[in-house]
Amino acid sequence: MSSFQKLIGIYNAKGSLIGELQYFFGKIRGTAHCALCDITHGKLKEKDDFKKCKQDLDIPLELLHLDELDSKLERFAKEAPCIIGENNEGFVLIIDSEELEECKSSVDSFSNLLNSKIN
C-alpha cells in the first residue's frame, strides 16, 4: 500500500482562458509542449482511458496548471510537467518530465509507471 495520501499532476501550462489559448496556439506552432497534457487529453477533452486510470487509483489524483499552484507546490513549477505525491513529510517528486515524455502520450504506459512508483 502506498504512503501517499494524494497525488498531484502539474501541467506545463496555465489554466486560465488566456493560458489555454496560448498553449493551444503554441502547440500548433510547435513552441509549447506538455507531456502530461498529451497523456491526459485528446484533441478537445480528457481521454476516457485517463478517466478510468484515475478511478482505478487507490489515491486521489488532482491535476493542476501552473497558475493554480499554492505556495507549497510552487517550488515544483520548474519541474512541470510532473507528478507529485503528498505524504506525512510533505511533497515529493514521483514522476519527472522526462519520464512523462517517455510515456509517449500513452495512458497505459503512464498508469504502469505511476503504479510502479507508488506501490
pLDDT digits (tens, 9 = 90+) for 77-99: 999 999 999 999 999 999 999 99
Higher pLDDT, 118 or 22: 118
- Are residues 3 and 87 in contact, defined by beta-carbon separation less than 8 angstroms? yes
36-69: b (≥16 Cβ within 10 Å) or e: bbbbbbeeeeeeeebeebbeeeebebebbbbeeb
Q: H-type helices in the chain, by residue range?
A: 17-29, 35-40, 48-56, 97-102, 107-118
Cell of 95: 514522476
Query: Does the reported pTM lie above 0.85?
Result: yes
Please give the pLDDT value at position 2.
62
| 8 A C-beta contact, residue 114 and residue 85 | no
